[in-house]
Amino acid sequence: MNQKVKQPLTYAASGVDIDAGNRAVELIKKSVKSTHRPGVMADIGGFGGLFALDTAKYKEPVLVSATDGVGTKLRIAHLLDKHDTIGIDAVAMCVNDILVQGAEPLFFLDYLAVGKLSPERVAEIVEGIAAGCRQAGCALIGGETAEMPGFYGPEEYDIAGFAVGIADKSRLIDGSRVKAGDVLIGLPSSGLHSNGYSLVRKALFEVAGYDLDTRLPDLKGTIGEEILEPTRIYVKAVQPLLDKYDLKAMAHVTGGGITENIPRVLPQGHMAVVDRSAWQLPAIFNYVQRAGAIATEEMLRTFNMGIGFVLVVSPEEADAVMADLAAGGEAAAIIGEVVAGEKKVEYKGEGVK
């Protein structure tokens, strides 16, 4: 073993730059500050984020938590070298899950692992996280940036998030009161959101031969721009309804699509009948399906197919809920109903092909 060292080793020489990490913290402080809300007790830089609960507002407070990442959608951000929206996806995947329980998102923390720390890129990513937090009304109170040379390539990174929300115990929504005759209201997605990207990339790029700059009819921009569109955050559209209506259940339509996610909030002995003709299928799903010759059943259990969030309400309140959503600019649609039967989704009607 050669024990001669020509010059002393440093952490930076091994690939981890502490000074770059400190510079990144300075660059993100403004973005983080922009998310602060009542309850935040400290700025970033400490060993833990502090948040004080409003015990006057909640009689029996229950904390609701969620964690998630954005999957292989990150590959699209890497290829486009566009990193200011992927953080919105990370926030959305967590806060939408919290919202399903009837909870108000309070705060968010992120985990960012990079091959080589670029303070400017970290700042770009964190600004996306902060934008998502602002949309959700929650505070970004902490996070971790880990530089991991030899594990990730110099330009590679991964991101995950963790969110905490709050609800009164008596107002938690778990779907237990859903019954036959209840109405399903669907809120539109912004596109693919953050699920099924391994299949999307294989169908569009490997099979069809498209590239990120390809422009196709009915898409707002290039394929790259279309599939990097951030996941919608539904908090501000749905939270006002919680105080006015008896929302019996909600579903965030993520991996598994409508097929797998609605049954998660149905009691035993209840089935959701979904009318596929009730909403317009966004064009990107048609392109993915045709490119990969993907069966409709597979599409429905992989993608959101244009519906990103579902409310279950009584038939007596359905019209009023729809009117409130419309007044807020939400293009919601009644997409089906609950009936007695096996706990699953059954489809009727034909979607746009």
Q: Are residues 34 and 133 in the same domain?
A: yes
Dig out the tokens for 39 from the structure: 């309850």
Same domain assignment for residues 308 and 238: yes
Under a CB-based contact definition with an 8 Å cutoff, are residues 132 and 91 in contact?
yes
Looking at the DSSP bridge assignments, the partners of residue 166 are 63, 104
- Find out whether 309 and 239 touch, Cβ atoms under 8 Å: no
Nearest to 28 by CA among 116, 110, 113: 110
270-275: strand order across its sheet: 249-252, 307-313, 183-188, 333-340, 270-275, 345-348
Residue 118 sits in which domain range?
A: 18-44+55-169
Pick the range with the lowest mean pLDDT from 30-39, 243-252, 330-339. 30-39
- Best CA proximity match to 96, nearest among 254, 299, 267: 254
Q: What is the pLDDT of residue 2?
A: 56
Q: pLDDT at position 205, please?
A: 96
Confidence at residue 169, expressed as pLDDT on a 0 to 100 scale? 95
Least confident of 20-34, 35-49, 164-178, 253-267: 20-34
Residues 202 and 322 in one domain: yes
List, in sequence order, the alpha helices (H) in 52-144.
73-80, 86-100, 119-136
Structural domain total, the chain: 2
Residues 165 and 189 in one domain: no
How many whole angstroms separate alpha carbon 242 and alpha carbon 100?
A: 11
Mark whether 194 and 103 lie in a shared domain.
no
pLDDT single digits (tens) 305-344 = 999 999 999 999 999 999 999 999 999 999 999 999 999 9
Query: Against a cut of 0.95, is the pTM above it?
Result: no
Residue 84: pLDDT band with limits 50, 70, 90? very high
User: 293 and 192 share a domain?
Assistant: yes
Query: What pLDDT score does 353 carry?
Result: 36
The lowest-confidence range among 72-81, 211-220, 342-351 is 342-351
Query: For 85-99, what is the mean pLDDT?
Result: 97
Give the pLDDT band of residue 133 (cuts 50, 70, 90): very high
- Residues 124 and 135: their CA atoms lie apart, in Å, by 17
Q: Is residue 325 in a domain? A: yes
CATH of the domain at 100: 3.30.1330.10
pLDDT value of residue 352: 38
| Strand 139-147 with 104-114, pairing | parallel
- What is the band of 56 on the pLDDT scale with cuts at 50, 70, 90? confident
